[in-house]
C-alpha cells in the first residue's frame, strides 16, 4: 500500500481538551501497531467517546498511524513491536533480540505517557498498554477479537491465551466484537458486542461495484485485475492508485460485493450490510474463515482459491446488516466512569446543610449566635470530610480488592502458562531424546550393515585373488613342464644331428 499523503491542516478535526470546568472525562485510546485494522477499530471507539463529550488522547503507532492522522488525531507513538513476522518466520533470534526488548520499551513508553496524560481510563486492544495501565492503576477497558482459538501456531496460541486471560482479569470490562452468532471463542467474563467499524461521513471519490481490501499480510491485486477483466468496476485498496481515506465504510456501503482477507474488513462489511467474500491468507485469517463457514454466518462466503472468488462475486450471499458495536462500548465506558466518580454524600448531611442555608440570619445577632453558626459549619465540614474519607476508604478497599483479584488471576494464569510450558519442554525433550536415540540406532545399524557388506566384498576379492594366484601358478607349472619337454626334444634332436654329422665325417675319411 502506498505511503499516505499528509492531509491538509484545515481538514483535520479539532481534538483539543475541553476546559477544566466541563467535568467530562479524559480517556486514553491506544491501538496495537501490527495491522491497520487495530487502529480503525480503536478510532471508532475514540470518535464515539468524543461525540459524547469526552476528551480523547490517542496512541499506538505502527501500520495504523496513517489512519489516525487522517481522522485528525495527534497520536503518541511508543516503541513499535513486531511479533507476527518474527514468530511466523520462525526467527527465534529476532524474537529474543528484537521483539522482546521492544515490548519492554513499549510498556515503559506507555507508562510515561499515561502518567503525563493522567486519563480517567484507558481503552485499548494493545496488551502492552494494558500492562502499563495496570502498573500505574489507570482503569482499563479492553476491546479484543483475536482469541487463542484463532491461532494454529502453538506459540502464537499460547501468547494469545496469556494476554487474553491477563486482560480479562485486569480490565473493568472486556469487549469481544463478533459477527458470528455463537461466541464460543470468547473467554469467561467477556462481553460480546456487535462488530465495531469506523463510521465515515462522505466519500472522496466515486464508489464501485466491488471493493477489494487486502490485509497487511495478504495481496489481492491479481484478483482485482481478474474482476476488472470480467467487467466489474473495482476499487483495489492495495493498488498504487488508491489514496488512503479516513474511513472505508462509505465505499463498502455503496458496493455490491466486498472481497477481503482480514477480520477488520469482515466487521466493516457486516456493519455496512454488504455481501462479503473472504479469501484468507494467514493462519488467523484461515481460522476466521473457518468460523464464518462453520457457523454459516449470513452475508459471508469463504473462497479458498482465486477462481472461487470470481464465482462468489458473480453469485454473492444475501446481505445482512449488523449494528455497530462502537456506540455501546463508548456508552458503557462513560456510564462506568460517571458511576465511579459521582460524589457520595450522606442524606442527613445534605438535609442539615439545606436547613442551615435556608435559616435567616438577622442583623445584630450576638457573638454566641455567630459562634453557633460557625460551629454548625465546622460540623458540616467535618461530616463532609468524614464522608469523603469513608468513600475514599471504600474506593481504596475496592481498588485493593480488584488489584488483588487481578494479581491472583494473573498469577494463576502465569502459573498455568508455566506449567504448560514446562510440560511442552518435557514433551519436546522426550521427543528430541527419542529422535536422537533413533538416529544413533539407525546410524549404528547402517554402519554395521556397511561393515558387513565391506567385509563380504573384501572376502570375495581375496577369494578372487586366490583363484587368480592358483591359476597363475598352475599356468606357470604347465609352462615349466612344456619347456622341459621342449628342451628334451631339442636336446635329442641336436644329439641325433650330431651323430649323423659324425657318421658322415667318418665315412668321408675312409673314402
Q: What is the DSSP string of 219-271?
A: --HHHHHHHHHTT--EEETTSTTPPP-S-SHHHHHH-SEEEESSHHHHHHHHH
Long-range pairs, 282-285, Cβ under 8 A, ≥24: 282/88, 282/215, 282/217, 282/218, 283/88, 283/151, 283/152, 283/153, 283/156, 284/146, 284/150, 284/151, 284/156, 285/215, 285/217, 285/218, 285/261
Decide if 275 contacts 257 (C-beta within 8 A): yes
Q: Report yes or no on 473 lying in a domain.
A: no
Q: How many domains does the chain have?
A: 2
Q: What is the pLDDT of residue 404?
A: 55
CA distance 60 to 73: 11
CA distance 409 to 184: 21
- Output the tens digit of pLDDT for each of the chain's 511 residues: 333 333 333 333 333 333 344 578 999 999 998 878 889 999 999 999 999 999 999 999 888 889 999 999 999 999 888 655 555 555 555 556 556 788 888 999 999 999 999 999 999 999 999 999 999 999 999 999 888 877 777 777 887 888 888 899 899 999 999 888 765 677 888 999 999 999 987 777 788 999 999 987 778 999 999 999 999 999 999 898 898 899 999 999 999 999 999 888 999 999 999 999 999 988 788 888 888 887 778 899 999 999 999 999 999 998 888 999 999 999 999 999 988 765 434 443 333 334 333 333 333 333 343 344 444 544 544 554 444 444 444 445 455 555 555 555 555 555 656 555 555 555 555 555 545 555 555 555 555 556 667 767 777 777 777 787 778 777 777 777 777 777 788 777 777 887 777 777 777 666 5
Q: What is the pLDDT of residue 303?
A: 93
Decide if 223 contacts 309 (C-beta within 8 A): yes
Q: Report yes or no on 485 lying in a domain.
A: no
Same domain, 178 and 296: no
CA distance 145 to 159: 14
Q: Domain boundary at 194, 218, 244, which?
A: 194
Same domain, 107 and 233: no
Same domain, 26 and 122: yes
Q: Which domain holds residue 247?
A: 210-314
Burial of 352 (0-12, 13-18, 19+ CB in 10 A): middle
Same domain, 13 and 122: yes
Q: In what order do the strands lie in the sheet with 26-30?
A: 55-59, 26-30, 121-124, 140-143, 173-177, 191-193
Same domain, 89 and 226: no
Same domain, 98 and 241: no
Same domain, 20 and 151: yes
Q: Beta 173-177 vs 140-143: how paired, if at all?
A: parallel
CA distance 57 to 29: 6
Q: What is the pLDDT of residue 285?
A: 86
Residue 391: strand, helix, or coil = helix
Both ends of the chain: CA-CA distance in Å? 136
Q: Report yes or no on 287 lying in a domain.
A: yes
Decide if 243 contacts 237 (C-beta within 8 A): no
Same domain, 68 and 189: yes
Same domain, 159 and 218: no
Q: Report yes or no on 461 lying in a domain.
A: no
Q: Domain boundary at 163, 194, 225, which?
A: 194
Q: Report yes or no on 283 lying in a domain.
A: yes
Q: Report yes or no on 234 lying in a domain.
A: yes
Same domain, 217 and 254: yes
CATH, residue 170: 3.40.50.2000
Same domain, 190 and 227: no
Same domain, 108 and 238: no
Q: Domain boundary at 194, 229, 255, which?
A: 194
pTM of the model: 0.62
Q: Report yes or no on 479 lying in a domain.
A: no
Q: Report yes or no on 169 lying in a domain.
A: yes
Amino acid at each position: 500500500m502506498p505511503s499516505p499523503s499528509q492531509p491538509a491542516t484545515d481538514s483535520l478535526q479539532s481534538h483539543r481538551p475541553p476546559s477544566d470546568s466541563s467535568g467530562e472525562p479524559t480517556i486514553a485510546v491506544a491501538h496495537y501497531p501490527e495491522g491497520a485494522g487495530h487502529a480503525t477499530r480503536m478510532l471508532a471507539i475514540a470518535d464515539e467517546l468524543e461525540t459524547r463529550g469526552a476528551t480523547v488522547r490517542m496512541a499506538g503507532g505502527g501500520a495504523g498511524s496513517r489512519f489516525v492522522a487522517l481522522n485528525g488525531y495527534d497520536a503518541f507513538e511508543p516503541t513499535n513491536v513486531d511479533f507476527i513476522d518474527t514468530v511466523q518466520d520462525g526467527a527465534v533470534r529476532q524474537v529474543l533480540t528484537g521483539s522482546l526488548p521492544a515490548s519492554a520499551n513499549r510498556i515503559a513508553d506507555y507508562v510515561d505517557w499515561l502518567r503525563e496524560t493522567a486519563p480517567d481510563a484507558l481503552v485499548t486492544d494493545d496488551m502492552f498498554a494494558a500492562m502499563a495501565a495496570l502498573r500505574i492503576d489507570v482503569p482499563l477497558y479492553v476491546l479484543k477479537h483475536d482469541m487463542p482459538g484463532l491461532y494454529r501456531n502453538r506459540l502464537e496460541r499460547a501468547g494469545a491465551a496469556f494476554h487474553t486471560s491477563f486482560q480479562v482479569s485486569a480490565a473493568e470490562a472486556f469487549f469481544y466484537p463478533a459477527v458470528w452468532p455463537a461466541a464460543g471463542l470468547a473467554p469467561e467474563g467477556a462481553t460480546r458486542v456487535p462488530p465495531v467499524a469506523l463510521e465515515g461521513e462522505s466519500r472522496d471519490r466515486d464508489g464501485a461495484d466491488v471493493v477489494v481490501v487486502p490485509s497487511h499480510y495478504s495481496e489481492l491485486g491479481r484478483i482485482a485485475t481478474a474482476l476488472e477483466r470480467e467487467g466489474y468496476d473495482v476499487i483495489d485498496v492495495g493498488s498504487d492508485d488508491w489514496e488512503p481515506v479516513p474511513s472505508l465504510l462509505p465505499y463498502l456501503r455503496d458496493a455490491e460485493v466486498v472481497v477481503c482477507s482480514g477480520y477488520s474488513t469482515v466487521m466493516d462489511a457486516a456493519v455496512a450490510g454488504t455481501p462479503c467474500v473472504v479469501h484468507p491468507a494467514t493462519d488467523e485469517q484461515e481460522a476466521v474463515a473457518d468460523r464464518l463457514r462453520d457457523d454459516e454466518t449470513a452475508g459471508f462466503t469463504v473462497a479458498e482459491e482465486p477462481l472461487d472468488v470470481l464465482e462468489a462475486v458473480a453469485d454473492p450471499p444475501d446481505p445482512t446488516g449488523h449494528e455497530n458495536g462502537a456506540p455501546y462500548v463508548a456508552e458503557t465506558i462513560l456510564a462506568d466512569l460517571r458511576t465511579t466518580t459521582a460524589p457520595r454524600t450522606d442524606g442527613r448531611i445534605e438535609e442539615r446543610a439545606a436547613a442551615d442555608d435556608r435559616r435567616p440570619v438577622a442583623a445584630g445577632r450576638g457573638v454566641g449566635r455567630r459562634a453557633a453558626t460557625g460551629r454548625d459549619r465546622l460540623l458540616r465540614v467535618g461530616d463532609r470530610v468524614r464522608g469523603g474519607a469513608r468513600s475514599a476508604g471504600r474506593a481504596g478497599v475496592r481498588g485493593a480488592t480488584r488489584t488483588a483479584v487481578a494479581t491472583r488471576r494473573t498469577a494463576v494464569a502465569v502459573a498455568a502458562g508455566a506449567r504448560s510450558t514446562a510440560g511442552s519442554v518435557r514433551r519436546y525433550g522426550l521427543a528430541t531424546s527419542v529422535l536422537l536415540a533413533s538416529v544413533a540406532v539407525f546410524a549404528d545399524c547402517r554402519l554395521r550393515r556397511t561393515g558387513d557388506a565391506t567385509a563380504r566384498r573384501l572376502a570375495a576379492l581375496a577369494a578372487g585373488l586366490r583363484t587368480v594366484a592358483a591359476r597363475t601358478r598352475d599356468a606357470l607349472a604347465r609352462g615349466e613342464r612344456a619347456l622341459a619337454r621342449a628342451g628334451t626334444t631339442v636336446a635329442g634332436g641336436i644329439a641325433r644331428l650330431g651323430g649323423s654329422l659324425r657318421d658322415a665325417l667318418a665315412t668321408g675319411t675312409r673314402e
